[in-house]
A = this chain, B = another copy of it.
Amino acid sequence: MSDTATLSPTSLGNAPYDVERVRQDFPILTRLVHKRKGRPGKPLVYLDNGASAQKPRQVIDAMSHLLENDYANVHRGVHFLSQRSTDLYEGTRDKVAAFLNAPSRENIVFTRNATEAFNLLAQSWGRRFLKAGDAVLISWMEHHANIVPWQLLRDQIGIEIKVVPVLDDGSLDMSAYAQLLTDNVKLVSITHASNVLGTVNPAKRIAQLAHAKGIPVAFDGSQAAVHQPVDVQAIDADFYVFTGHKLYGPTGIGVMYGKMEHLNAMPPWQGGGDMISTVSFAHTTYREAPYRFEAGTPAIVEGIGLGAAIDYVTALGMDAIHAHEQRLLAYATGRLSEIDGVRIIGTAPDKAAIISFTMDGIHPHDIGTLLDSRGVAVRVGRHCAEPLMDRFGVGATARASFAAYNTEAEVDALVDAVLATKSFFG
């Protein structure tokens, strides 16, 4: 094995989506959880994909293989391994560009995660192009990653944060959006899909309306990009952000796509090695975008792992993944809705495969613990979207979120566990 060519998933060809074969690519899915002294353990039913997805063997192996065969620091070395690591690492930039249908690899900036991408956007683009009194328009369904960076900037330079409301079904209030696009709005930064409600916002329409007023638009694709195909040119996004670990890739790597006109106009954010052109104590010059934004030794192994993840989902087909998850979503929504006392929060049409719910008289934290004791992993809490929780008058929810490897049987396990929880506290 001296090459990393064998990274495609267990081939599915044009056959119908074979989830059992997909599952075989994910070693953790055969795990028994809560196994200890004398207890056999429970099969894992992993429905916490919205927080982070599990990794296929192809991604795990790409990283191990690199470290066992091809690893060195990138960009500056003339030796064989450095060249090899550089090729593989920079190869991911091409893969990401293709994945998002970006015009070029130079549009792709690597970050640690989605959160860092928004901090970069706020501090580099924001500090250069915004001044006191200017507004950034976000929405009520944002993850903290697309709220707090703007609040920090607000505290630093006095911008205003405006918020598009959310309708009762979890849709974005598009008529309010149109009205909120006032003259002082200088950037729209809105999630493409909500990590709590599953709502997929009409990105193209959002961009059109903003562009009509000359306002650039940034999208948080952390959830959208993992559930469906994304085409940044079709949407006409000015910026588009996602995070590797939710796309079956490694932790420690995220992506900010930006149009070149923006990236080229943005000052560096962090300083250090690899982002400079020349350094003297008096004067330092910086490299062009995207490299200007990537200071220090990058997350090399993670970048290469992300490349393997993109190869993986591309081979499965984002369309096929989407269709599979939609089947699960419909089935799970139907079954959960039948249970008395279960309330699903977020019922917008064409939503992504994420179901947040509450149960009458039972706190989400207790739901989480009870489900977990049966091997069913869901997320409970505020999902880093506290304002949205307030909007729906809940302190917290339980959330089941689906991925390429989930099955109807797992939905059944979820529903059984919810029923059992209900009678336990009943």
Contact residues of A with B, CB < 8 Å?
2, 27-28, 31, 33-35, 44, 46, 48, 51-52, 54-55, 59-60, 63-64, 67-73, 76-82, 112-116, 118-119, 143-145, 147-149, 151-152, 161, 163, 243, 245, 250-253, 268, 270-276, 278-281, 284, 295-302, 365, 368-369, 371-372, 375-381, 384, 386-387, 390
Contact = CB atoms under 8 A, between A and B. Distances in A.
Given A68-B60, A252-B252, A78 B380 contact: yes
Contacts of A31: 69
A362 B143 CA distance: 56
A419 B79 CA distance: 18
Oligomer copy total: 2
Given A252-B299, A379-B76, A64 B60 contact: yes
Given A119-B272, A273-B115, A295-B148, A78 B368 contact: yes
B119 A250 contact: no
B386 A280 contact: yes
Nearest to A369: B78
A63 B148 CA distance: 31
For A27, A77, A250, A270, the residue with the greatest tally of chain B CB atoms inside 10 Å of its CB is: A270
B296 A81 contact: no
A48 B302 contact: no
Contact of A272 (B80, B145, B271): B145
A375 B81 CA distance: 10
B368 A69 contact: no
A73 B54 contact: no
